[in-house]
Amino acid sequence: MYLTRLIYASTISDNISPSAIADILDSANKHNKLNDITGVLFFDQKYFLQCLEGSRFQVNETYNRLLQDNRHSDLVLLEFKDISVRAFPDWTMGFIPESVLSKAIHLKFSPRKNFNPYNLRSDSAYQMLLELKELLPE
Ligand SMILES: Cc1cc2nc3c(=O)[nH]c(=O)nc-3n(C[C@H](O)[C@H](O)[C@H](O)COP(=O)(O)O)c2cc1C
């Protein structure tokens, strides 16, 4: 089964409290560990940008579950491709909240300073997540 990378953007649903993020991460880490999925999730208070890497089947299955999750909406697939190496092998789901540093990184890849993942090229989204990865604790 091929190693695959999927990147998508979504918007947090109204009336979702910040504490829901902890539940999302618990669930993501639990499932991803079982399914050998790794990746990162960037969140800027309004939008999510997430990368999942793993077997083609498991990545697809996870994305189908994500599509049903009413804690976010307007999921847009930015990239789905076979890869030869994982970029985030050490994270079952590394969480990167918005910060001063993330804003500086995001501006490098975006036409506007306000983060909007729907306006990112897929390669920019990937490069941006690679740089954001450096902000994760060891
Ligand atoms: C922004 C966001 C990111 C998520 N990331 C993952 C993920 O990486 N892996 C995963 O299995 N579920 C993820 N989830 C949760 C799934 O949508 C789904 O709720 C969960 O897998 C269902 O399993 P549970 O009933 O055991 O919580 C995410 C949800 C949201 C809203």
What is the number of the ligand 1 atom nearest to the C-alpha of 71? 31
Question: Tens of pLDDT along 15-67?
Answer: 888 789 999 999 999 999 999 999 999 999 999 999 999 999 999 999 999 99
- Tens of pLDDT, residues 66-82: 999 999 999 999 999 99
Q: What is the pLDDT of residue 108?
A: 94
Total residues found in the chain within this entry: 138
Check pocket membership of 110 for ligand 1, CB cut-off 6 A.
no
* Number of Cα atoms under 13 Å in the Cβ half of residue 41: 24
58 alpha carbon, distance to own chain's centre: 15
Residue 138 has pLDDT above 80, yes or no: no
Q: Does 1 score more than 80 pLDDT? A: no
CA separation for the pair 45, 31 (Å, rounded) = 24
The pLDDT of residue 111 is 87
Query: How many whole angstroms from 7 Cα to the centroid of ligand 1?
Result: 14
Ligand 1 centroid vs 95 CA: distance in angstroms?
13
Q: Which CATH class is domain 3-133?
A: alpha beta
- Is the CB of residue 49 less than 8 Å from the CB of residue 125? yes
Burial of 124 (0-12, 13-18, 19+ CB in 10 A): middle
Mean pLDDT score of the chain, rounded to an integer?
95
Give the Cα separation of 12 and 123 in Å (integer).
23
Amino acid at 18: P
Instruction: Check if 28 has its Cβ closer than 6 Å to any atom of ligand 1.
Output: yes
